Amino acid sequence: MKKVYLLVILICLPVIHTYGKKPVNGYYITQKNDTVRGTFLVPFGLLSMEPDYESLQRRVKFLETTGKKYTLSPKVIKSFVLDLNGKPIIFLSREHPISGASPGRLFLRLISDGYLKMFDYYFTTNGGSMFNASGGFSTGSSFSSDKFYLQKGDGPLTRMRNLFFKKDMSEFVSDCPELVQKIHNKEYRSEDLETIVSEYNKWIARRASLDN
């Protein structure tokens, strides 16, 4: 029976490894702001309806309408957009949010656009090692996680600390007193980050219209 299980695993491994490379229409923006349309070969997790966002942060394969195929990295283009079931998934090239990390640039998924941008950074966390039931030493399991980063204009990427969210967020949007008050009153918490970003961008737009 063990030999049968082993045979099944060996047969399935190549399938699991290559599973999910799906063609997705879209386009990318060059460093000269030209738009190139075609098809992306997007990795999907096994039995997942969502792309492998962590993998896409480093590179993505692209197929032009002419049939030319190549790999795009954050160093050579500004951004790319996937048309996933009618929903645009946008990635922008940015410096790695963790100083000194490799590679130096990543494609970060854009969650909210405007003067204040909100990005989602995906990474894999390794669980701690431990002794197993048989007395042996085994490494912990790995799991995917993500963190949100904010960027004002062309400024640096900034992350709000969960334990100090009220303090960090209030200081970050200190030029908008109404929003600061809502954060201090706990009307907005860390789980409302996207709403905070949206409200801040609306306030920036109103202020710009008054200045004009």
Identify the pLDDT of residue 127: 59
**pLDDT computed for residue 16 by the predictor:** 42
Q: Report in angstroms the alpha-carbon separations of 138 from 84, 130, 158.
A: 39, 6, 36
Residue 141, pLDDT above cutoff 60? no
Question: What are the residue ranges of helices labelled H in the chain?
Answer: 2-18, 53-56, 165-172, 177-184, 193-211
**Is the pLDDT at 15 greater than 70, yes or no?**
no
The radius of gyration computed from the CA coordinates of the chain, to the nearest angstrom, equals: 21
Residues 206, 200: Cα–Cα separation, whole Å: 10
CA-wise closest residue to 57 among 150, 121, 151, 147: 121
The whole-number pLDDT of residue 142 equals: 63
Task: Name the more confident of 144 and 187.
Answer: 187
Let me know: does 119 contact 100? Beta carbons within 8 Å: no
Angle between helices 193-211 and 177-184 (to 10 degrees): 160
Between 3 and 172, residue with greater pLDDT: 172
In the DSSP assignment, the letter for residue 132 is -
For residue range 163-182, what is the model confidence (pLDDT) as tens digits?
999 999 999 999 999 999 99
- Pairing state between β 87-95 and 105-112: antiparallel
